[in-house]
Amino acid sequence: MAKNDNVQPAKPMTKRQRARWDQERKQSSQVLLIAAAAVGLAVLLIGIGLVIQKVIVPNKTVANIAGVEVSNAEYQQYRQIMQAQQAVNLAQQIQQYAQYQLQGTEQFATDVTNYIAGLKDKNAPLDYTVLNQLINDKVLESNAAAEGITVSDEELQQSLAAKFAPANEVMNPVAPVTSTNGLTDTASLTPTQTPTPTLSEASARVDSAITTYFGTLREFIEETSSYGLATLPFDRNAFKDFVLHQERLQLLREKLGEKLVTEDQATKEIYADAQQIFVTAGITEPTDPLTATKWAQAKTKIDDVAAQLTSTAVFTDVQLANTTNNATDNPATGMRPLTEYAALGITEPISTQQVGVIGEPYQSAQGWHIVLVHQRELRPSQSDLATKRDEAVTKWIEEKRAAANVQRFPEPTATTVPPTIEPIPTTIPQPTTDPAAATATPASEATPTTDSAAPTATTASEATPTTVVTPTP
């Protein structure tokens, strides 16, 4: 091979060139190290962020109840399910308001938007109203067992099955008192009683109802374009657990209320089982020029009905013959509180008329009535009983919560209540006109006047509080 005379051997680098080359190589290495460190730091920060968001934040403690911790994840799911239900309920109210052209739909729409927007935030700031409700639920549940109060799975399923029963199926039928439109009685068709479902049947009904409701809730929130939430932050199983748990808490409250307040502690109220035959006067306006004529016609008709009532035995037959409610086959209303008869305008004959005797025609603001009272007695008022039991349970939970040393993290900031400013008096005591009283008297010897015409000043500490008595319904 011929030797290439054009190839020149490399010249050795000078000291200056060697120093520059070493410096550039070091700089390149430093740049690579810095870039690698930056990438590593970014990956580390992303990892830390994911750990904080997925592990630390959901598992951080937001409340402690007698040593039992409530995690942020539990609170957030509780809040989200409640807000989703509130959004749906408010949307239904908007439809009702719009149907009757009522005001207030704008505020409802804003609330719905806010509720659904809150579903997007998995780590929303604490809403202490929601957190306090969650804490009260846990206090009730943890302390009820100590009172010997429990709810079995069968009780739970049967209770929900009754609430989810179809409209035409009544497990505990109660004949409602109907309105007095036209010539009709207070009785209405008693729904046919259906057998109590078995546990498996009740569970199947509950499961089906919850599935249907969850589907409606998800459809509303996910497919309503004006709100635009892509996916619910909880699934059907979580929603079902929430519904079952809330029903269990409700049953615990009811049982606890029955233990804390017995029926004999409630105000007594008149209950009666009665029938009526009603003839409307057909008055729509007080200034109706035909008022006298319509009342006369109604009186003639009620007198004709009264003539047919020869005995209590024929009351039902006459009632059915003169009613526009052809479906009526159970003429008795059952034992009802007197307040339920108030809408019919017949509380007076119901409470005073002799039992078992057909009353004389009775005139109310709507028309004429003939009443037959089958039974009447004093019973504990169920409305008063429910109020007292609810108050007793609320007080019981407050006491148990205070004893449990509940802590919230963070605790809400205390708000300063502004001092109460007493209003400036608007009346000025008038000076006496008695000449004898005009003589100056030392303040230490002055006797306060008792003139009824002059107002007497009373300090706030001496004022006697006024007791407002609320009549029992």
Name 380's bridge partners.
268
What's residue 420's pLDDT?
Answer: 55
Reported as a single tens digit per residue, the pLDDT across 182-235 is: 333 333 333 445 678 899 999 999 999 999 999 988 888 887 646 556 688 899
When pLDDT is cut at 50, 70 and 90, the band that residue 413 belongs to is confident
How sure is the predictor about 27, in pLDDT bands with cuts at 50, 70 and 90?
Answer: confident
Can you give the pLDDT at residue 131?
95
Backbone angles phi, psi at 307, to 5 degrees: -65, -25
The Cα 469–Cα 464 span in angstroms is 15
Closest by CA position to 267, among listed 36, 115, 469: 469
Q: How many whole angstroms separate alpha carbon 380 and alpha carbon 258? A: 13
Question: Which among 26-35, 229-238, 421-430, 442-451 has the top mean pLDDT?
Answer: 229-238
User: How many whole angstroms separate alpha carbon 381 and alpha carbon 248?
Assistant: 26
Residues with Cβ < 8 Å from 261, sequence gap 6 or more? 385, 388, 389, 392
DSSP alpha helix (H) spans, 120-184: 128-144, 153-163
Query: Residues of 276-307 as b/e, b for ≥16 C-beta within 10 angstroms?
Result: bbbbbbbeeeeeeeeeeebbeebbebbeebbe
Which strands form 407-408's sheet, in the order they lie side by side? 68-71, 61-65, 407-408
Categorize the per-residue pLDDT at 32 as very low, low, confident or very high, splitting at 50, 70 and 90: confident
Query: From CA 76, how far away is CA 124, in angstroms rounded?
Result: 7
**Gap between the Cα atoms of 87 and 370, Å rounded:** 48
- What pLDDT is recorded for position 350? 94
Alpha-carbon distances, residue 105 vs 83, 100, 116, 142, 353 (angstroms): 18, 11, 17, 40, 48
Extents of the domains making up the chain? 25-59, 62-265, 268-380
> Which of 111, 81, 70 is CA-nearest to residue 93?
111
Q: What is the pLDDT of residue 289?
A: 65
CA distance 321 to 185: 11
The DSSP letter of residue 132 is H
**Which backbone phi and psi does 211 adopt, to 5 degrees?**
-60, -45
pLDDT > 70: what percent of the chain? 68
Verdict on whether the full-model pTM lies above 0.85: no
pLDDT band at 459 (very low <50, low <70, confident <90, very high): very low
Q: Is the Cβ–Cβ distance between 118 and 80 less than 8 Å?
A: yes
Q: Is the pLDDT of residue 462 over 70?
A: no
C-alpha span between 341 and 398 (Å, rounded): 37
**464 has pLDDT over 70:** no
Could you tell me the pLDDT band of residue 173, with boundaries at 50, 70 and 90?
Answer: very low
Identify the pLDDT of residue 189: 32
CATH number of 268-380: 3.10.50.40
pLDDT in tens, 76-131: 999 999 999 988 888 888 887 777 766 667 777 888 888 888 888 888 899 999 99
Rounded Cα distance between 207 and 203, Å, is 6
Q: Which two tokens stand for residue 131?
A: 């957190």
Read off the pLDDT of each residue in 378-407 and give the average, rounded to a whole number.
95
